[in-house]
Structure 1
Amino acid sequence: MSITYVHLSDIHFGQEKGAAVVINNDAKERLIEDAAEQVLRHAGGGAKGLIVTGDIAFAGKSEEYAVAAKWLDRLARAVRCPPTAVKMVPGNHDIDRDRLSAGCTHLIDEILSGGEAKLDAFLANDDDCKTLYNRFVGYEPFALGYDCPLHPAGGIASDSREELAPGRAIRFFGLNSALICSKRKDEEGKLILGAAQRVLPSDPGVELVVLCHHPLHCLQDSVDARKYVRGRARVFISGHEHNPSLQIEAVEDGCDLLMLASGATVPPKVENGYTYTYNLLTFDWCSKEDKLSVEVVPRAWNDDKKRFEADDVRLGGHKPRNLLASPNFRRGPVPPAGGQPEPAAQPVPAALRPEQGSGGELLADRVAKADREPPNNAPVDAMSDTFQLVLLKFFRDLTAAQRLKVLIDLDALPDDWNEELTLMMERNLIEDLVKDGRLGDLDSSIERNRH
């Protein structure tokens, strides 16, 4: 089963000043129209979702994400996907640089000079972690609403799986390459992913699609990160440089890697070769060759005609449809005579394992450890479309004060609760409400408090 995504990057909501507001808004309107037409042509029934590889905002401010939310909702409706079906990672413009205190700047300088060992040391300290992540104060609730939580201890930013056929799936990994971005121009080769992000898994029947704002050459640990990407991922998608390109690397016999560099959906200036761009990405399983099929349809702004058109120049001579030799597919279950593989035995999601369950576990103990165990594997009853929409409204559309009022109204917190309430704790608390059969109450309370 093929699945299609509208791929955006570097939208920079909030960068516009003066006449640029009108010009950029017009281009974004035309993008919605063009994407609707292209999805109808290439995907028929509609897109699976949207992918945004960073720099959603320009200055990481909550008001910028509020504007982005309305536009993404309209785009989702136009391409006929749920408003919740958005995969995203943060970019350097998604940090609020006004939150860079002297202490935070000192931490970052120490990491830049001391490398991964310093990063690990600071990530192991709760207070230092809070100092680093405080710069994502606007981005974090916005992304959590889309179920793309930032791992609060330097781990994978987001993780989701999509089935292409029985026993053949792709797994999207979102990386946070902006963790140590600072006020200064982030120098090439200075950023760090860290081992908790770059050590990618390898599972039979599952090929990885890695989303990362910065290209690999921007990282201190680029050599090791590149080894993991080349050996374990099938697609690597980056943004940041505003210069679209596509390359297919033959890693070894029977193993390919597609490297896709995004253009800027809304670049700072439309000049010198930079223009408004977006992509349509369609993933499918080629049963005949047991390969991952990736169709890339790039769209770019024609400034003379003031509209989006096909952009074949930046494909680098590649045809839109690319068949990638896929070693993990070959390690999966053998396809039967009919051409469809038998389902592989799937690991039990972490949220369903006995040690992760809530039975007999005190609420205080459960929320206390939530900071270091973000719920990338949510309970089954929390994966319904209704819950995803409630999650979006709760984190994306409510202020911190409104979210707290909802939790208090529903008696989600003990009367004597006196601890700091983090986003991950809030997520666990609303999951508890859902488990108790109170999804309707939660939705009603959100609606009462959001107006």
Structure 2
Amino acid sequence: MLILHISDIHFKRGEAGSAMDPNHHLRARLVQDAKNQCAKLQAVPDAILVSGDIAYSGHPDEYAFAQTWFEELCDAVGCDLSKIFVIPGNHDVQRDVAKKPMVQAAHNDIKGTEAHLLTGKLSGYLNDEDNGKQLYGPLENYNGFAGTYLCSLSPPDRTKLDRLYTLNDGSKLRITGLNSAFVSSHADDVGKLFVDPASFTLTDEYGVSHLVFCHHPYNWLANGQELADHLGDVAHVHLFGHEHTNRIELNRDWVRVAASAAHPDRTERGWEPGYNFLELSVSQQNGERRLDVTAHVRIWQHRPGQFVAKTDKGGEDFFFQSIRLDAWEPPVEQPTGNNGVEPADQADVHESTVTEEDASMTSLRSLSIKFSKLTFSKKLEIAGKLELFEETDKKLPDYERFRQVLLRARERGLLDAFEAEIQTAQSSAETTNKKD
């Protein structure tokens, strides 16, 4: 399995895409380098993980540019936009909303809570509808963007995100994205941010390896040591962003990668743009299952300017660690039923707390991306025509309302009809544009 990891892109309104965009050349070289690396590795990314700070100030224009650039990147590396998996960072927070007195009062209440009472405090806020909306209000624009990829967040039940992939031996890799930005504002400081109690529900699962990515490293989190201890027990790969300094730690039981920023501020000391590729596979060594992790760390070199490999002390242009896994045997194949679908596959197509990487969810993300490009009125028209709205949707934000529309279309067996309506709308829009 090949993973492309990017962090801290910081698309800035009025700058990204402008005639004097200072990062245009850097982005173009990153896209070309990623394309070249995929060719060298003879693989296409199975997932593109973006660990926060997609925008600079959480403005819709910044996310509009991000969508365009993601399309360019995916086209270059040969994968579909549905492979993108995003989590928020502090720059994805709308600071003007986070500065409001009621939001700051909630932040200060959480920050002032003693460590042994913190889980209860956070649970109390996130389980209360009004308080949950207040904490997540500054992420509204981010959620509108992330919803395109079915990555929007909503307390209390969707404060972390999961996708499940199949590794080369048939076992699973669960990728979990954590939100460390829901108590973020202008007052951020080291040790003053949080992950919520759902982050500690990851556990050992038979035949499952874990990769976790989060924007803020442990030292920025008030409950960071607790999280480090927990993930050290259950997760094999930990990815972070935020600090713009590349580091890689190879432990017996895990690999931790802190990403360089794709767009660090040019005034930063030690300005070093970068991104990462990770190869994951399961091998057998002396009768043991091992998760082999190969990290290709790409950093910007000056004079001549280009992305190059960061090397380890042995001179290799990659970092490698083989992590022991628990014993696992693939399940015995079950006989197919009259409909030709195995019972296990039937279970995968239902919505649950875990998003399986099955054909159903991949298709749903692809439809979501196409649907997001339609006008608001056209989205309403399609949802109304297929009777996918319900009374409870009226109080939901748009990104959540249309997420529910997509899920209902799948539950009711209407995905083909839904896709046909999208295609008709796209064709109509193209015809109108040609006439204009």
Same fold (TM over 0.5): yes
SS at 1:444 equivalent: helix
Distance 2:357 2:295 in 1: 33
Which amino acid in structure 2 is aligned with residue 202 of structure 1?
D
Which amino acid in structure 2 is aligned with residue 413 of structure 1?
F
Which amino acid in structure 2 is aligned with residue 95 of structure 1?
V
The equivalent residue for 1:55 is: 53
How many angstroms does 1:343 deviate by?
6.3
- 8 Å CA contact 2:161, 2:176 repeated in 1: yes
The equivalent residue for 1:433 is: 409
What does 1:153-302 correspond to in 2, within 5 Å? 153=156, 155-184=158-187, 186-250=188-252, 256-269=253-266, 271-288=268-285, 289-302=288-301
Name the TM-score, length of structure 1 as normaliser: 0.82
The equivalent residue for 1:99 is: 97
Determine which of 375, 394, 408 is the counterpart of 1:419: 394
The equivalent residue for 2:367 is: 390
- 8 Å CA contact 1:433, 1:442 repeated in 2: no
Comparing 238-247 and 282-291, the one that deviates more: 282-291
Comparing 204-213 and 432-441, the one that deviates more: 432-441
The equivalent residue for 2:78 is: 80
Unaligned runs of 5+ in 2: 335-341
The equivalent residue for 2:21 is: 22
The Cα offsets for residues 295-319 of structure 1, whole Å up to 9 and x where unpaired, read as 1111111222122122226x89887
Which amino acid in structure 2 is aligned with residue 281 of structure 1?
L
The equivalent residue for 2:6 is: 8
- 8 Å CA contact 1:4, 1:47 repeated in 2: yes
The equivalent residue for 1:311 is: 310
How many angstroms does 1:446 deviate by?
5.6
- 8 Å CA contact 2:300, 2:308 repeated in 1: yes
- 8 Å CA contact 2:174, 2:211 repeated in 1: yes
- Aligned-CA RMSD value: 3.2
SS at 2:265 equivalent: coil
- 8 Å CA contact 1:199, 1:225 repeated in 2: no
SS at 1:224 equivalent: helix
Which amino acid in structure 2 is aligned with residue 183 of structure 1?
H
Residues 166 and 295 of structure 1, relative CA distance in 2, 3 Å threshold: closer
Query: Is 2:403 the partner of 1:407?
Result: no
What does 1:97-176 correspond to in 2, within 5 Å? 97-100=95-98, 101-114=100-113, 115-153=118-156, 155-176=158-179
Distance 2:347 2:59 in 1: 32
Residues 73 and 418 of structure 1, relative CA distance in 2, 3 Å threshold: closer
- 8 Å CA contact 1:12, 1:93 repeated in 2: yes
The Cα offsets for residues 119-144 of structure 1, whole Å up to 9 and x where unpaired, read as 22211210111111121111112212
The equivalent residue for 2:355 is: 377
The Cα offsets for residues 207-252 of structure 1, whole Å up to 9 and x where unpaired, read as 10000000011111122212210100001100000000001223xx
The Cα offsets for residues 249-288 of structure 1, whole Å up to 9 and x where unpaired, read as 23xxxxx111111110110116521221111111111233
The equivalent residue for 2:338 is: none
Which amino acid in structure 2 is aligned with residue 12 of structure 1?
H
Identity of aligned residues (%): 27
Unaligned runs of 5+ in 1: 251-255, 334-340, 358-373
Which amino acid in structure 2 is aligned with residue 300 of structure 1?
I
Which amino acid in structure 1 is aligned with residue 227 of structure 2?
A
The equivalent residue for 2:30 is: 31
The Cα offsets for residues 364-390 of structure 1, whole Å up to 9 and x where unpaired, read as xxxxxxxxxx864379674243x3221
The Cα offsets for residues 36-70 of structure 1, whole Å up to 9 and x where unpaired, read as 0111001x142223111110111111111110111
Residues 95 and 132 of structure 1, relative CA distance in 2, 3 Å threshold: same
What does 1:315-326 correspond to in 2, within 5 Å? 320-326=318-324
How many angstroms does 1:92 deviate by?
0.6
- 8 Å CA contact 1:301, 1:309 repeated in 2: yes
Distance 1:204 1:379 in 2: 17
Name the TM-score, length of structure 2 as normaliser: 0.84
- 8 Å CA contact 2:310, 2:318 repeated in 1: no
Residues 167 and 382 of structure 1, relative CA distance in 2, 3 Å threshold: closer
How many angstroms does 1:158 deviate by?
1.3
SS at 1:145 equivalent: helix
Which amino acid in structure 2 is aligned with residue 51 of structure 1?
L
Distance 1:419 1:309 in 2: 51
Residues 427 and 123 of structure 1, relative CA distance in 2, 3 Å threshold: same
Distance 2:19 2:314 in 1: 31
Aligned residues: 411
